[in-house]
Structure 1
Amino acid sequence: MGQQLWVNPLATALADGPTLVAAAAASCLPTAARCTLPPGPAFWYPGKQLRLTASGRISCTAGAPGTARFDLRFGTIIVFDSQPIALNVAGKVAVGWRLDLLLTCRTVGGGNAATLIGQGTWTSEAGIGAPAAIAGGNAVFLLPYNTAPAPGNGFDSTAPQLVDLFYTQSVATGSLTLHQYLLEELG
């Protein structure tokens, strides 16, 4: 039997995030797009879902483009990790990308008892295996990349959680800028 559910936007990006060029993990969100999720059973329960959609532009160098990696953090805790995604050896300049994630709460509790399992897709011409621009199309990767889905690191669902999206490139020869971001509560 069907249920009546709703979608609640929790956070959006009203401006671009920083242009990331270092080979180090850093937030790709503008500061105002980071939101704090409330604590306790009124918000967190097994089966609770969050949906994240983000997009922007990415560049990678030809020959040794390295990898791209996204992780969702609650404070300093990584609750979802895309794993390193191989980039296009042909090199790409300022091409689009899109990240779609669905996260489901598996467990709740204090300390590190609460967990989320996440799966999604990353789509971009900058991904390895994307057809040449004249052929059209993009590479689409199921996330987490090249590994079996599993719950992320545990967090404390009895405490408020600051949500942030991080990006890491393995070489300092590319760049990434987030243009759009939406975090939604599905209930």
Structure 2
Amino acid sequence: MQRIASNLARIGIIAGLAVGLSACGVNSIPTKEENVKAKWGDVENQYQRRADLIPNLVSTVKGFAAQEKDVLESVTRARASATQVTVDPSKLSDPAQMAAFEQAQGQVGSALGRLLVTVEKYPELKSNENFLQLQSQLEGTENRITVARRDYNEAVQSYNTEIRTFPSIVAAKVIYGSEPIPPFKATTTNANTAPTVAF
């Protein structure tokens, strides 16, 4: 009888520890961290898609937009420099690496903005089917990047909240040594101001 009581006590202790550990974020912290890494992979994937797509489309359009050769080449140069800056998923909490990546991607966005302004200056380019395809693909690509960055920021917010709230903070500090991960931020100071369109 005493042996049965002893075994039941052991089972009770093990069950209590299992419940206690599961309640303190032991499993949820690495799950959320892996989700952040996966979402960051999606961001990189969309930037890679842009890097692969732009040269092909620009090459097609170049023949129809000789007068804007310098603008198209600046897009290509910005894209080339942006692909050289990467962020290791294990170093997502390094603000300097994130800032360098965001700056390189911001240069591509700036060059793309100059390219799209060209359309307003030279309306005859709008009628060219290839230029319209370039515009459409660039817009779609930038939208995909925006969605990927939003999803990444949501995953970062969920992870950061998990490691800073009780009881998960116990596992975050004691077991994993977790640090908050910075979200993706706007690269320009006036990003929250809508551009003025004048005709």
Q: TM-score, normalised by structure 1?
A: 0.24
Question: Of Structure 1 and Structure 2, which has the larger fraction of its residues in helix?
Answer: 2
Larger Rg: 2
